[in-house]
Amino acid sequence: MTFVSVGILTFYYPNIRGVMALIREEAEAVRSAKEELEATHRELRELNRTLEDRVRIRTQELMLSQQKFRRLFENSKDAIFFCDEKGCISDMNQSGVELLGYTEKEEVVGLPMKEFFNKPMEWRTYYASICRDGFIKDFEAEFLKKDGSTINMIISAAAIRDEKGKPTGCEGIAKDITAFKKMTEKLIYSEKMAAIGQLAAGVAHEINTPLGIILGYTQLLKEDFENDQEILKELEIVEKQTKNCKRIVSDLLSFARSTSTAKFDEVDVNECLKHTVALIRHSLEMDQIELVLELTESIPKIYGDKDRISQVFLNILTNAHQAIGEKGLVMIRTRYDTKKMRVFIEIGDSGPGVPDEIKTKMFDPFFTTKPVGKGTGLGLSVSYGIIKELKGVIEVFSPPEDEIFRKKGINTVFTIELPLESDGPEPENPIVQRYCMCER
């Protein structure tokens, strides 16, 4: 029995050693694999943490970028807009909404961009540039507001494309340049009027002398032919027309006259207006035109030539009377702006209003819409020159910006702004003085 056991053990022993070696090798391989797996797992955890950190940082950066864009979008004073592929507004900041005269963004979103262009040609130019070039830069256009008024905008926009390059809309920014444009136009107009004034002064002086000679000899001839009615009648025509020419020359000189010829003193604007109204009141009454004065009391006195300021008021009131014809309303208001330290005079009438193409020419010398012989076209030009001398501003609004005027049927308002040279008291509430020229 013992012999058999030893034999069997002797027979299997080499095989057991091989198996054990194999087991050890497999165990070592498993251990190595486990270590590699643990190392890989550690690397993956570290990589995952790194990726998470990167994602968190990028997410924060993206959020900050979005917040910056949103702040820029919402806080910009210019209009920022986005349009879809159909050309309809898909988003617009609040400044843009308000510039177009709306209150809520929802009122604007979905509207075709084309509807806001007041001039079709400007829309076609804008649209063609976006489609052809993919962008447009510093393009000036007139935009239509909700209430029908217009503003001048300068636009820069670019097409939005998908990954395949297909246009999916556009984005852009528009800046309101209405005030800048008006200021530029006023500057150009002032320079033009100054040049015309210099020319008018020279022409007037050159013409005045021969006119005086003609008038003098005509009057002498009238004495010589006082018994010849036929010749006397012709001489009277010459005299009349010569005096008419001298009046036009006088108006030209008034237009071109510098401040050195004016008599400057303190002027009460309200009293000056009342005096002027007294001169024209009867003619207004004859044509059944009602006159309303809203004069703010305690307006500080301005420094200027009282007679020439009265001339301005009379010119504008005469213009208002002629615009109305019969049965209408003339409304005059005064106020004092304590911040600007300026007196404002507004003279409105219920006439037919002034077309845009005429408004730009109203203060030009010799421009008139009246029939031949009914006016020289110098009244408003002279008024412009006088106000300019006083460092003031005269403008015409048709229709008026003030809703109070519009509700009363006023279609045209002349606004005069005159500066002060000294502080004035705080104005009290307006006192309305109503002159009823007719029974309505």
pLDDT tens figures, 101-120: 999 999 999 999 999 999 99
What is the per-residue pLDDT across 38-95, written as a single tens digit (0 to 9) for each?
Answer: 888 888 888 888 888 888 888 887 777 777 777 777 888 899 999 999 999 999 999 9
65 contact partners, CB below 8 Å, separation of at least 6: none
pTM: 0.47
pLDDT more than 70, % of the chain: 81
Fold of 264-435: Heat Shock Protein 90 (3.30.565)
**Where are the extended beta strands (E) located within 177-222?**
none
Domain positions in the chain are 79-176, 187-256, 264-435
Distance of alpha carbon 204 from alpha carbon 207, whole angstroms? 5
β pairing state of 289-296 and 328-337: parallel
CA 384, 338, 293, 289 torsion: positive or negative?
A: positive
- Arithmetic mean of pLDDT over the chain: 81
DSSP state at residue 370: S
Per-residue pLDDT of 40-49, as tens digits, reads 888 888 888 8
Report the C-alpha dihedral over residues 338, 339, 343, 347, rounded to 10 degrees.
-110
Q: Residue 399 in 3-state DSSP?
A: coil
CA distances from 389 to 163, 259, 340 (A): 63, 6, 18
Mean pLDDT, residues 271-300 taken together: 88
Cis peptide before 400 (omega within 30 of 0): no
Contact call for residues 95 and 76 (beta carbons, < 8 A): yes
* pLDDT of residue 376 exceeding 90: no
State in words which class domain 79-176 has: alpha beta
Tell whether the model's pLDDT for residue 1 goes beyond 60. Answer: no
**E strand or H helix at 141:** strand 135-144
**Confidence band (pLDDT; 50, 70, 90) for 14?**
low
